[in-house]
Amino acid sequence: MEGLLCLRDPRNLVMIFLTSVVIWLLETVKYWFVMHAFDFNVSFFALMLMNGVVNLATTLPSAPGYIGTFDGPGIAVLTLYGVDPAVATAYTLTLHAALWLPITLLGIYYMVRIQLGWADIGRAAEGVSLTEPVSYTHLDVYKRQIWSCTWPTANRWRARFLTAASPTWTRRRRPRRRPAASPSSPPTASSPSTRRSST
């Protein structure tokens, strides 16, 4: 419920609405481009309706990749607009792959690039860091992995992920190391100060 606090600001509410409209329109444009590879033609409004229906259906519990919950409603919407069921099935499956495959491959690429393992994802999902403090050594390892990346975008993404996974990341700071003072040799028996004190 804390995420709804931003809706109290009218400016944020307007920005959320405008960006949502742009995102939905851009996704529907992809539906429109894929449609041109098949032997049917429906209006842009029909594709917007299909986009809304399939995305609402994917909120239901389903298999990984929204298998079934995306395809079934999409085929049903196109069939209502007079598209042949076989063509609607082929289009919906192709569209599903076109939407799911690129972002999945991109995610795998960045997981390999920034050395993000399944253990990190499991730790964030289980919320282990909420009850177990993260040691300085563990944080140092994560920091070295972050700065080992060459792409600033990947650095910021991993830093945000680790902050969400480990709230203690921003709370527990390693104390700064003070520069070590130059060692001074202790006075020897033959030094002048030692001879004065002895006399």
189 is a domain residue? no
The pLDDT, as a whole number, for residue 179 is 58
CB contact at 8 A, 75 and 85: yes
107 is a domain residue? no
Range of the domain at 28: 7-101
The pLDDT, as a whole number, for residue 139 is 45
DSSP designation for 130: G
First and final C-alpha spacing in the chain: 80
Are 96 and 124 part of one and the same domain?
A: no
Are 12 and 60 part of one and the same domain?
A: yes
Please report how many Cα atoms fall inside a 13 Å half-sphere around the Cα of residue 78, on the Cβ side.
28
Tokens of 193: 């100060």
The pLDDT, as a whole number, for residue 164 is 52
Are 21 and 79 part of one and the same domain?
A: yes
The pLDDT, as a whole number, for residue 159 is 56
Q: What is the dihedral of CA 154, 6, 66, 117, to 10 degrees?
A: 30
- Burial code (b: 16+ CB inside 10 Å, e: under 16) for 34-70 equals bbeebeeebeeebbbbbbeebeebeeeeeeeebeebb
Tokens of 34: 């894929």
**Domain tally, the chain:** 2
Tokens of 74: 């999409």
The pLDDT, as a whole number, for residue 83 is 94
Are 80 and 36 part of one and the same domain?
A: yes
Question: What confidence tens digit (pLDDT) does each residue in 46-79 have?
Answer: 999 999 999 999 998 888 888 889 999 999 999 9
194 is a domain residue? no
Distance in angstroms (rounded) separating the CA atoms of residues 139 and 146: 10
Residues of the chain where predicted confidence (pLDDT) is lower than 70: 1-3, 125-199
The pLDDT, as a whole number, for residue 5 is 73
Are 81 and 141 part of one and the same domain?
A: no
Model confidence, pTM = 0.58
The pLDDT, as a whole number, for residue 172 is 45
Nearest partner of 43 among 78, 18, 68, judged by Cα: 78
Which alpha helices (H) appear in the chain, and where do they start and end? 10-35, 44-57, 71-80, 85-113, 118-126, 136-147, 152-165, 168-171, 192-198
The pLDDT, as a whole number, for residue 10 is 83
Nearest partner of 128 among 158, 173, 166, judged by Cα: 166
